[in-house]
C-alpha cells in the first residue's frame, strides 16, 4: 500500500483522496461511502474518490474499506485541480 501527500496550498480546504481497493465494488455502496465517487477499473480494481474534511474522516473511510474485507491497494491525495468535478462529490463526513 502506498500513501502520497500532495500539498493543497490551503489547509482550510478539504483534501481530495483516491483510495484504490482490489475487486469491483457495486455502486449501491455509494451511500455507505458518503457520496464518494466509485469508479470500476478495467483491471478489476475500484477507485473511490472524494473530498475528505480531515484525518478523522479519512480514517473513518479506511475503516469502512477494512470492514468490507476488500484489500486496500493505495491511498493517494490528489490535487483538487487535477481531479474532475465528476470524481469529487460531497465531502466525506466524519464517521464515529
Helices of type H across 1-96: 55-68
Smallest CA-to-CA distance from 50 within 96, 24, 19 is with: 19
pLDDT of the residue at 60: 92
Positive or negative, the CA dihedral 77, 20, 49, 14 is: negative
- Domains of the chain, each with CATH number or no CATH: 2-78 (3.30.70)
Q: 12-48, pLDDT tens digit by residue?
A: 678 999 999 999 988 788 788 877 889 999 999 999 9
Mean pLDDT of the chain: 79
Lookup: cell for 83: 481531479
Residue 5 has pLDDT above 90, yes or no: no
Please give the Cα distance from 93 to 70 (Å, whole number). 21
Amino acid at each position: 500500500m502506498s500513501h502520497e501527500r500532495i500539498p493543497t496550498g490551503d489547509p482550510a480546504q478539504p483534501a481530495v483522496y483516491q483510495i484504490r481497493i482490489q475487486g469491483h465494488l457495486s455502486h449501491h455502496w455509494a451511500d455507505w461511502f458518503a457520496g464518494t465517487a466509485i469508479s470500476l477499473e478495467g483491471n478489476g480494481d475500484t477507485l473511490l474518490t472524494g473530498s475528505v474534511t480531515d484525518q478523522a474522516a479519512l480514517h473513518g473511510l479506511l475503516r469502512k474499506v477494512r470492514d468490507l474485507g476488500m484489500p486496500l491497494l493505495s491511498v493517494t491525495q490528489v490535487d483538487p485541480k487535477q481531479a474532475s468535478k465528476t470524481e469529487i462529490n460531497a465531502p466525506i463526513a466524519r464517521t464515529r
